[in-house]
Structure 1
């Protein structure tokens, strides 16, 4: 049997596959809403299409995580890439509500399929080569950096392409004639994302080797996936360290939803017009991705300085909560000084979240057996998305001003305080999720109330 890849090679391939997955997302973010409205969709229809994506991703999150644990990481990742490139092609060319709804369904399913398997592959590979005590933080940090870098680069390129192909541009006129108007300038970022998706699928199939698995049968999958999902959920409830990871993910989801909901309007008020506010928000979004990349890159250093992954997660989330508090405090004032403080707070939020993620997941992977690793990551992702959806509704119903920001800061601080008492790891390697007892520790400090 072929030996597992060495940790350095596994880190590079994990970072590459992460970059290739998130680059198409960055490409279509700036133009997605504009493309849909250009196709004649009202904002209400656009909101409904986004709801199709969100509901699909949430419903499919746990079953697809279980599927990755049963049939293998590479197969599920390749399937996610195929679905995503099909979704982007349909979104770029579709002109009816039903076609666009299909694109959102495919995209939501692809997002759910991709949630966890690549990271699970990396951890399995490194531990298979170096044992259960192998260093995971460095690779997890590189993956987080690659994700944020892909989103930053994609956002810049995806925002510039429609401008370069817009009215009055020779390239835009050539495009319109060549496609008989089927491909709009706003469609090009999504089509480029689909092309990157092809490269992603090829790379996954060629660069992510796995140990041989027994051939999957339909009966085995139907029996194995529910059992694996149940084991992963039980682990998230019973095991203190995993429970903290899940609850802090919910806090992060609430904070991110608050920021993403409130920042565009605040940018428009600051610049005085929606159009210039949109430009400012795009610049802020790119800055947020860069800050996340920097924070993620520094996650191993944060663990060394604080003495453990748990303390690093506490410190990093506290930094993010302080940044969100600055955004809340400055929401009631105008002028250059409050704007500068708000910009600093925005950067702190994303630097802290970037540093917290790899350290939290280092704790998670040391408490989770490989048979439910992707499922546990799906539980974490579901907590973030569900809490974010609810927090967005709450923040949107509150009066404008500091209050919604301060609520998000309070929830994020609660998530940080979950790590105030260090969990003592049990000796030996992780056991099967269904049999693993809770680690000896105190109770979880608080349950975070329900992006």
Structure 2
């Protein structure tokens, strides 16, 4: 069997694939609601379409994680990329509810398939190398940085492309006429995103080698995937580290949902108009992505200064909670100075989460093995999404003002408290799986100190 990739090569490939995975998301998000509105969809219909996406992701998150643990990382990632590519084409060209609903289902399925297998591949590859040393935190940090940079760059490009097509030329009008109104300027970011998705699929197939696995028939997959999911759920219930990771993911999902729901309206109130508020919020979103990138890039340094991944997770979440507190305290004030403080708080929230994430996942991977690694990551993602959905409903029901922000800050600070007084422990070290066969699940993995989404 060929020698596994060295850790540095695996880190570079994982970072590249992560960037290509998230760049299309940044590209299509700024223009998507506007495009659907241009197609004649009302806001309740658009909300329903996004609900279809969210439900699809939640339903498929655990089964697709189990599928990756059974059949391999690369085929699941490539399938997810192909579904996302098809979904984006259908989403930007669809003009009626049927095709758009199908696009959201495909988009949700692609998101679920892509959630976790690339990170699981990276950790498996590093642990399989004789000189790997088990250190995965730096690679997780670099991938987190790549994700945030891709979202920031994609958001800027996705917002600028329709504007450039509509300014100073009739390129956008010519494009619409040539396609019978099927391709509008607002469609272009999504089409570019689909091209990037195609490149992502090629990159996954070419750059993420895996040891050959024994052939698995459809009947065996149907038996193995539920068993793997059940193993992952038992691991989450049994292992303190995994449990803390899931609870921290819940706290992070609560905070992010609060910000995403309340920040656009707050920006509009500050500028005095929805249009200018949307521009301000887009700039804030870009700042948030860049702050996440900076926090993630500095995660290994934070761990060295704090004395371990668990303490680094505590520090990052505490900073994030302090940022959300600052947003809450300034919610009842008006003026430029409180707005500047709120902007600082916004950046602190994302920088803290960026620094905490790689350290939490470093500890998560110490407490899991290859047999359930992608399932554990899917559990983490599911906890974040479900908490976010519930928190959005709660934040929307609370009276306007500081209270919703302070509730989100309390959730983050409670997540930080999970890591107090818990020094790192080495955690289990698994040997490389032989011939692609997953290593058996550990009976009693040593508890470590870290977790989040």
| TM-score using structure 2 length | 0.95
Gaps of 5+ in 1: none
TM-superposed CA distance for 1:171, in Å, is: 1.6
Gaps of 5+ in 2: 432-438
In the alignment, which residue of structure 1 is the partner of 2:62? 62
Does the CA contact (< 8 Å) of 2:77 and 2:113 recur in 1?
A: yes
Q: Does 1:437 find its partner at 2:439?
A: no
Q: Which moved more, 1:272-281 or 1:157-166?
A: 157-166
Within-5 A mapping of 1:13-52: 13-52=13-52
Q: Does 1:311 find its partner at 2:318?
A: no
In the alignment, the residues of structure 1 paired with residue 258 and residue 447 of structure 2 have an alpha-carbon distance, to the nearest angstrom, of 34
Query: Residues 112 and 441 (structure 1 numbering): CA distance in 2 closer, same or farther, change over 3 Å?
Result: closer
- Structure 1 moving runs of 4+ over 6 Å: none
Does the CA contact (< 8 Å) of 2:309 and 2:359 recur in 1?
A: yes
- Three-state SS of the structure 2 residue aligned to 1:40 is coil
TM-superposed CA distance for 1:161, in Å, is: 0.6
Query: Residues 358 and 441 (structure 1 numbering): CA distance in 2 closer, same or farther, change over 3 Å?
Result: closer
- Three-state SS of the structure 1 residue aligned to 2:129 is helix
In the alignment, the residues of structure 1 paired with residue 223 and residue 353 of structure 2 have an alpha-carbon distance, to the nearest angstrom, of 37
Q: Deviations over 1:201-244 (max 9, x none)?
A: 01100110001100121111011101110111111111011111
TM-superposed CA distance for 1:437, in Å, is: 2.5
Within-5 A mapping of 1:123-142: 123-130=123-130, 133-142=133-142
TM-superposed CA distance for 1:173, in Å, is: 2.7
Q: Deviations over 1:53-81 (max 9, x none)?
A: 00000000000000000000000000000
In the alignment, the residues of structure 2 paired with residue 300 and residue 138 of structure 1 have an alpha-carbon distance, to the nearest angstrom, of 6
Does the CA contact (< 8 Å) of 2:134 and 2:429 recur in 1?
A: no
In the alignment, which residue of structure 2 is the partner of 1:343? 343
In the alignment, which residue of structure 2 is the partner of 1:78? 78
Does the CA contact (< 8 Å) of 2:254 and 2:392 recur in 1?
A: yes
TM-superposed CA distance for 1:132, in Å, is: 7.2
- Three-state SS of the structure 2 residue aligned to 1:29 is helix
In the alignment, which residue of structure 2 is the partner of 1:285? 285
In the alignment, which residue of structure 2 is the partner of 1:162? 162
TM-superposed CA distance for 1:186, in Å, is: 0.5
In the alignment, which residue of structure 1 is the partner of 2:248? 248
Q: Deviations over 1:366-387 (max 9, x none)?
A: 1101111000000000000000
- Three-state SS of the structure 2 residue aligned to 1:210 is coil
In the alignment, which residue of structure 2 is the partner of 1:231? 231
In the alignment, the residues of structure 2 paired with residue 153 and residue 276 of structure 1 have an alpha-carbon distance, to the nearest angstrom, of 21
Within-5 A mapping of 1:381-400: 381-400=381-400
- Three-state SS of the structure 2 residue aligned to 1:370 is coil
Q: Which moved more, 1:121-130 or 1:39-48?
A: 121-130
Q: Deviations over 1:331-386 (max 9, x none)?
A: 00001111111011011001000000000000000110111100000000000000
In the alignment, the residues of structure 2 paired with residue 157 and residue 167 of structure 1 have an alpha-carbon distance, to the nearest angstrom, of 15
In the alignment, the residues of structure 1 paired with residue 414 and residue 259 of structure 2 have an alpha-carbon distance, to the nearest angstrom, of 17
Does the CA contact (< 8 Å) of 1:240 and 1:439 recur in 2?
A: no
In the alignment, the residues of structure 2 paired with residue 33 and residue 314 of structure 1 have an alpha-carbon distance, to the nearest angstrom, of 36
Q: Which moved more, 1:36-45 or 1:159-168?
A: 159-168
Q: Which moved more, 1:211-220 or 1:143-152?
A: 211-220
In the alignment, which residue of structure 1 is the partner of 2:436? none
TM-superposed CA distance for 1:426, in Å, is: 6.2
TM-superposed CA distance for 1:425, in Å, is: 3.2
- Three-state SS of the structure 1 residue aligned to 2:134 is coil
Q: Deviations over 1:9-43 (max 9, x none)?
A: 11110010000010000001100100111111000
Within-5 A mapping of 1:314-325: 314-325=314-325
Does the CA contact (< 8 Å) of 1:238 and 1:438 recur in 2?
A: no
Query: Residues 298 and 91 (structure 1 numbering): CA distance in 2 closer, same or farther, change over 3 Å?
Result: same
Q: How many residues are treated as equivalent by the alignment?
A: 446
In the alignment, which residue of structure 1 is the partner of 2:365? 365
